Structure 1
């Protein structure tokens, strides 16, 4: 059965920056969709759409939500963040890309600042597979390289990942936890570092493979949402003397 995948893109850089527009003429979201090797029905949503494109109907049918944002995190309405948060807890998968580490939804799910070091200097990035048995690493070699990327460096202020799949090394010497898996409620969350808007990262075959693998990994598990609150006993409770 096909998955329902929603790709959320801030879609501001492509409208204002000629370099970004030349690399991603249809938008970053379109490039991500073109690279998905997944049986999926894809929906696009952007910041300037009504309700940021994340209406109740869209969220209700979404199995996996992919999120890319950068310069307008604060423009995302808190009530939409709350709805996305609840959908994750109830089983929707969430893949947060690159500068989405500072998005309201990722910080809400992590409970930390999610801050880091950064540099734009055309660093080569070598992405090492540190968990080769993980499904998100399927089909990859020991590492892959991106000739130019924005550097992200430790310390990355996130909770320790449930599973760490990738660690990046940069030409300037820094390292970074660049593929981090979490569970939150019934939902699975994956953070993947590469994807600065002024580089053609989302056309890279390895990056596309990682995102495709992550969509499959993050797909909801078919089980009931837990019941919380006051509970009746399953067995008779004997009277205490």
Structure 2
């Protein structure tokens, strides 16, 4: 079965900025969908901020294997209940690809539990991206390094949790470096943060960047059934324990009663 990818984009720069609209006439989400279509084995849908429920209904998320997220200027407009809904699906096993300024998105910060802050500069610098593990599935088919002619600089320190893997490190023309490809796991869901993608530059037209996106979606897909009990915390009665036992002390809760949250 093909991987079901949903590309979410706030879609605000495309509406307000002529340069961004010229670079991405179908929206950033449309260009990413086209890139994933080239990868083979992936079917795509798109969703944007101004759709009802931000295009992220329960039904739609239930039928999504990997969610690709691009946001920048409107992080605060994403409703908290939708963030919790997406977070629950990641815990259950839906993959998440967070792109560029999505490091400050509500969903990424909630899953990381840290500020996710960094330094930055918009000067159209050369970005040289070094591949640290060429054998990783996300790096399949990549050279040992590649360059993006014009990009926004992100610099360390990047206040995120220690990743499972650091796949890419970027060097910028001004001298800064940045961990630009990081993997995480939260519950049953795989997460990949990928730095490039400033909206004022045609980064998502780059063939190597497009390959990374396709590889990342395939890596993040968990083919297992959703882990529906990931957020449950059942009170197991003493007589239902794997080895039956007697109650030996005082209790706050009756058998089967909900715990405190």
Aligned to 2:172: 170
Any idea what the Cα deviations from partners look like across 1:66-114, whole Å, max 9, x if unmatched? Answer: 0000000000000000000000000000000000000000000000110
Structure 1 residue 222, shift from structure 2 partner: 1.1
Structure 1 residue 236, shift from structure 2 partner: 4.7
Determine the C-alpha separation between the residues in 2 that align with 1:44 and 1:213. Answer: 18
Determine the C-alpha separation between the residues in 2 that align with 1:194 and 1:38. Answer: 22
Asked whether 1:234 is paired with 2:229, we answer: no
Determine the C-alpha separation between the residues in 2 that align with 1:49 and 1:239. Answer: 53
Aligned to 2:218: 216
The alignment's C-alpha RMSD in Å is 1.5
Determine the C-alpha separation between the residues in 2 that align with 1:114 and 1:8. Answer: 20
5+ residue gaps in structure 2? Answer: 249-261
Contact 2:126-2:151 within 8 A present in 1 as well: yes
Structure 1 residue 223, shift from structure 2 partner: 5.0
Determine the C-alpha separation between the residues in 1 that align with 2:215 and 2:109. Answer: 23
Determine the C-alpha separation between the residues in 1 that align with 2:14 and 2:225. Answer: 40
Q: 2:81 aligns with which of 75, 79, 82?
A: 79
Aligned to 1:108: 110
Aligned to 2:186: 184
Determine the C-alpha separation between the residues in 1 that align with 2:85 and 2:246. Answer: 43
Determine the C-alpha separation between the residues in 2 that align with 1:3 and 1:63. Answer: 6
5+ residue gaps in structure 1? Answer: none
> Which secondary structure state, in structure 2, belongs to the residue aligned with residue 51 of structure 1?
helix
Asked whether 1:12 is paired with 2:9, we answer: no
Contact 2:20-2:200 within 8 A present in 1 as well: yes
> Which secondary structure state, in structure 2, belongs to the residue aligned with residue 35 of structure 1?
helix
Aligned to 1:138: 140
Aligned to 1:66: 68
Any idea what the Cα deviations from partners look like across 1:108-132, whole Å, max 9, x if unmatched? Answer: 0000110100000111000100122
After TM superposition, the score normalised by the length of structure 2 is 0.88
Structure 1 residue 228, shift from structure 2 partner: 4.1
Aligned to 2:28: 28
Q: 1:122 aligns with which of 124, 135, 138?
A: 124
> Which secondary structure state, in structure 2, belongs to the residue aligned with residue 43 of structure 1?
strand
The alignment covers a number of residue pairs equal to: 240
Structure 1 residue 224, shift from structure 2 partner: 6.1
> Which secondary structure state, in structure 2, belongs to the residue aligned with residue 177 of structure 1?
strand
Contact 2:33-2:45 within 8 A present in 1 as well: no
> Which secondary structure state, in structure 2, belongs to the residue aligned with residue 22 of structure 1?
helix
Determine the C-alpha separation between the residues in 1 that align with 2:32 and 2:51. Answer: 19
Greater than 4 Å deviation, 4+ residue runs: 236-240
> Which secondary structure state, in structure 1, belongs to the residue aligned with residue 217 of structure 2?
helix
- CA change 1:224–1:54 in 2 (3 A) is closer
Q: 2:93 aligns with which of 91, 94, 97?
A: 91
